[in-house]
């Protein structure tokens, strides 16, 4: 079975983002960029399925600027076999990305698409579900366990009340949650090997998709700041403050 793993280049999770002074977005120049952590979990899961003999080929895909090639190289270093970049300079929004990924899926005919449940930049949590809709495939979001069993996959999902397990018909779209696995560290030999793996470059027009954003961002602002309060010296002082000052207990 072939697996498609869409990955996104985002501001690294350790970076404290700053809103641009003109209110058009957040500062991304000279900021460390990395693969979206949830997508990294998706790549790792695909590699584990390949190691287990369930999967034969892993194709990593990214939609974005030319620099997204670095993200794809990371996916190749973790263990993807080849990569496709859909290169566009426009702001990528989930619906357009899902349409582009559908076009790739129509070409590649994977049995499974694994991707992160959300990207940590726009926090949309939409692309996987939209892709499943456009393909008319089953979906299993927020996965913490994936087991491929014949024509179905059994997926345990992290939901608000706890866990639930679904059986989904393959082909399916599965989005990853944090507890699915712990991605491996990429080793230097694998980084070197990744440089030799094939990376195809496509344009949205070649896939017949208009990538233009649908939502217009009018402004981006800093959230109201919370100021640090005071340190109390003892538990009794804390109780006293909560009672008489905050009047909360």
Partner 1 sequence: MSILVIAEHDNAALKPAVLNAIAAAAAIGGDIEVLVAGSQCSGAAQAAARVAGVKKVRVADAPHYAHGLAENLAALVVSIARDYSHILAPATSFGKNVLPRVAALLDVAQISDIIKVESPDTFVRPIYAGNALATVQSSDAIKVITVRSTGFDAVAAEGGAGAVETVAAAPDSGLSSLLGQELTKSERPELTAARVIVSGGRGMGNGENFRILEALADKLGAAVGASRAAVDSGFVPNDYQVGQTGKIVAPELYIAVGISGAIQHLAGMKDSKVIVAINKDGEAPIFQVADYGLVADLFQAVPELTSQL
Write out the binding residues for partner 1, residues 96-125 only, by CB under 8 A: 98, 117-118, 120-125
Stretch that binds partner 1, among 72-80, 106-114, 188-196, 209-217 (CB under 8 A): 209-217
Among residues 77 and 127, whose Cβ is nearest to partner 1?
127
Residue 97 beta carbon to partner 1: minimum distance, rounded to whole angstroms: 11
- Using the rule CB under 8 A, is 126 a contact of partner 1? yes
Stretch that binds partner 1, among 83-91, 106-114, 130-138, 195-203 (CB under 8 A): 130-138
- And the tokens for 243? 């009672």
Which SS3 state, helix, strand or coil, does residue 101 take?
helix
User: 65, 69, 144, 190: which one contacts partner 1 (CB under 8 A)?
Assistant: 144
Residue 32 beta carbon to partner 1: minimum distance, rounded to whole angstroms: 14
Among residues 107 and 169, whose Cβ is nearest to partner 1?
169
Q: How many CB atoms sit inside 10 A of residue 120's CB?
A: 16
- Contact between residue 165 and residue 146 where contact means Cβ atoms under 8 Å apart: no
Closest CA to 93 of 203, 210, 213: 213
- Using the rule CB under 8 A, is 159 a contact of partner 1? yes
User: 137, 146, 174, 202: which one contacts partner 1 (CB under 8 A)?
Assistant: 137
Separation of alpha carbons 7 and 175, rounded Å: 12
User: 109, 150, 196, 218: which one contacts partner 1 (CB under 8 A)?
Assistant: 218
Give me the torsion for CA of 92, 129, 1, 88, rounded to 10°. Answer: -10
Helix axes 37-51, 68-78, angle to 10 degrees: 30
* Number of residues engaging partner 1 in binding (CB under 8 A): 79
- Using the rule CB under 8 A, is 219 a contact of partner 1? yes
> Phi-psi bin for 214: left (phi > 0), alpha (psi -120 to 50), beta?
alpha
Among residues 17 and 90, whose Cβ is nearest to partner 1?
17
Among residues 196 and 216, whose Cβ is nearest to partner 1?
216
- Using the rule CB under 8 A, is 165 a contact of partner 1? yes
Separation of alpha carbons 116 and 169, rounded Å: 20
Closest CA to 38 of 248, 152, 239, 182: 182
Please report, as residue ranges, which positions from 32 to 91 form the binding site for partner 1 (by CB under 8 A).
Answer: 38
Q: What DSSP assignment string belongs to 9-20?
A: EEE-TT----B-
Residue 142 beta carbon to partner 1: minimum distance, rounded to whole angstroms: 6
């Amino acid at each position: 079975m072939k697996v498609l793993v869409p990955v996104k280049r985002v501001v690294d999770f350790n970076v404290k983002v700053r809103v641009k002074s003109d209110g058009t977005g957040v500062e991304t120049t000279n900021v460390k960029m990395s693969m979206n952590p949830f997508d990294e979990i998706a790549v790792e899961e695909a590699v584990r399925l390949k190691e287990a003999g369930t999967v034969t080929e892993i194709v990593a895909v990214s939609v974005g600027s030319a620099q997204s090639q670095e993200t794809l190289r990371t996916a190749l270093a973790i263990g993807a076999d080849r990569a496709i970049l859909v290169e566009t300079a426009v702001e990528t929004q989930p619906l357009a990305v899902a349409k582009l990924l559908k076009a790739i899926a129509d070409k590649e005919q994977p049995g499974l698409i694994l991707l992160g449940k959300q990207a940590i930049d726009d926090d949309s949590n939409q692309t996987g579900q939209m892709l499943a809709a456009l393909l008319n495939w089953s979906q299993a979001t927020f996965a913490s366990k994936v087991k491929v069993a014949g024509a179905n996959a059994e997926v345990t999902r992290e939901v608000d009340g706890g866990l639930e397990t679904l059986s989904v018909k393959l082909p399916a779209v599965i989005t990853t949650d944090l507890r699915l696995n712990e991605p491996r560290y990429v080793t230097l030999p694998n980084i070197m090997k990744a440089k030799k793996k094939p990376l195809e470059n496509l344009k949205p027009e070649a896939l017949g998709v208009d990538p233009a954003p649908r939502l217009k961002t009018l402004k981006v602002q800093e959230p109201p700041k919370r100021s640090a309060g005071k340190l109390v010296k003892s538990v009794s002082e804390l109780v006293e403050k909560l009672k008489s000052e905050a009047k909360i207990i």
